[in-house]
Structure 1
């Protein structure tokens, strides 16, 4: 993960004048039949607890929201749409999502004014964003280069974390941050509480998880790495702890480096082991290793073996039974919208065949 550059106040650079010019023509939203701006229907009524002007500190600099934003552009990972959807906020711009996420409301998504054909894997469409005349750009955990941050800031204030978070992003903090900035702090708190209650309900339905340790690993194949997915302090570990599992002391070994070498395969042990493979060939290669077969969780049948389907949408066990793929939600996809769905998948599908009682 790249280190965060020193914080400095945002400066409008002359080289960005062309982008800024796109915003100058007609910043106000068009009026509707009753004389109110169309933008007022994009957000719920303000709660009246956030004061503007509001200074926003990010890892790349500080900026000021002069008034409550109404036209919001959302870029980046699915979580950035999640945090506004649960607040009943409709952005004016977003990207095409890479998957039809199970928790996404398709009608809400279709109502977004501009859905770019680009996905998060494509270059950021600065001109397309500017054309929608946003007054805030939500880009949590997505902008990693100062130059890109500055280009976005020439269009509108950018909401990012104070520190670059990567896979360690706190979904609760992100949800609350967006709510507070939009003067919907109470609604954000409610969304977090409802998600936590849903997770607690799943945990209560599976008392056998309590006090047990678990390990999740992802095997990306011979050309890539075999990685420990639940290192101490990470998002994936926190999800499993919320489900009632106990911290696995072996996870501390993978905080600095998640790669699992053949020499440290024994560290994959736990009361339950879940390994997610990139494909069937990778699964067969790994499971043929004597060192892997000797891991107690594997040898004793406390092991869930899941390989990605060819389209990466589902996971398959060795018999071909299909399971939903919640892997993404355990890291950068964790949110108040996605986690209630994901923990049910983990508890009722992934771990259904693992005896923990």
Structure 2
């Protein structure tokens, strides 16, 4: 793996996600790596839509929705088809940089890219003739699941749409490939890398951090934020940060990924040390100029981590290849913000 280049400013750094492209460098073909696994078929996987049984080790792996393809790629398997990036793709080739880099490491061309701008392209998925379809982190509906199941066995999300933590995303997708053991090893590798990186920044420990989202600088009458069930906020715990009580108190529904508070109630965020959000200096200026939002401790102290809406900012949602790609820089930026909060 290569480390991400040092990013100079908050507006160009800070992301989280993804993971280690480590386990298996030797094969760029799904069949080769799947057959190397010690796991035995059939495999039965429980998920939100019931159970899926995969009778034999898949040789042709397809993925749909955001980032599921990063699991087979991290394990050395190139999918026969996967979703094209439809957010944060700064060069328009349908591949985020950490995915493009991994394909180069494997010496592989890009697989078939499914255009999901208007939803899953079922015909394109069927044309790749997959043995399994991975969607452990996804927004599948029952109808989507039923249609995909007519093509091949589907590994769906365990509990709720877009709520699968990165560890479980790896575990369920790897199990669907017949590579459960390799998936566990990948998780352990990423955990070690995170722990080693975070250990260099003790000021992160316990710092209460909120992910501010959907900020409209022309209308600051409401404040929206990600709940702990959103994978971006959940990743804060991996980095030693804590969830503000103000955020946790409104987050009782496991399918509620965001919350909103009116500006008149802004004093509820008196326990927020650090804010992470998408935006630039204009956003900071707007927060400082607002008579209510400027009272948030993180705003008063300038403890704000700004993410661009292009790479690396798009990696704020932790996925198996993006975590390593941005980890050192993201943690450094969070540490700088934590220093400001002191």
Q: Same fold (TM over 0.5)?
A: yes
8 Å Cα contact 1:215/1:268 also seen in 2: no
Report what 1:306 is aligned to.
Answer: 306
Confirm or deny that 1:189 pairs with 2:173: no
Alignment check: 8 A CA contact 2:137 2:161 kept: yes
Q: TM-score, length-normalised on structure 1?
A: 0.73
Establish whether residue 46 from structure 1 lines up as the match of residue 36 from structure 2: yes
Range with greater deviation from structure 2 (267-276 or 133-142):
267-276
Larger Rg, first or second structure (1 or 2): 1
State the number of aligned residues: 296
Does 1:55 pair with 2:56? no
* Aligned counterpart, 1:87: 75
TM-score in terms of structure 2 length: 0.76
Q: Which has the higher contact order (CA 8 A, sep 6+)?
A: 2
Please say if 1:148 is aligned against 2:144.
Answer: yes
- The equivalent of 1:66 in structure 2 is 55
Q: How far 1:155 moved relative to its partner? A: 0.8
SS in structure 2 at match of 1:140: coil
Residue 344 (structure 1) aligned to one of 301, 319, 328: 328
Q: What is the CA–CA distance in structure 1 between the aligned matches of 2:282 and 2:237, rounded to whole Å?
A: 31
Question: How far has the Cα of 1:280 moved from its partner?
Answer: 5.9
1:233-248 equivalent positions in 2, closer than 5 A: 233-248=229-244
Q: Which runs of 5+ in 2 are unaligned?
A: 1-28, 90-94
Q: What residue in structure 2 maps to residue 220 of structure 1?
A: 215
Within 2, Cα distance between the matches of 1:249 and 1:163? Answer: 24
Note the alpha carbon deviations across 1:66-109, whole angstroms, 9 max, x for none: 2111111111002x011111111111111222325342224259
1:216, CA displacement in angstroms? 2.6
| Further displaced range: 107-116 or 260-269 | 107-116
Alignment partner of 1:75 is 2:64: yes
Confirm or deny: 8 A CA contact 1:92 1:112 kept in the other structure. no
- Cα distance in structure 2, aligned partners of 1:136 and 1:155: 9
Q: Structure 2 CA distance, aligned partners of 1:69 and 1:305?
A: 42
Which residue in 1 is equivalent to 2:135? 139
2:84 to 85, 96, 110: 96
Which of 97, 111, 114 is residue 112 of structure 2 equivalent to? 114
**Match of residue 179 from structure 1:** 174
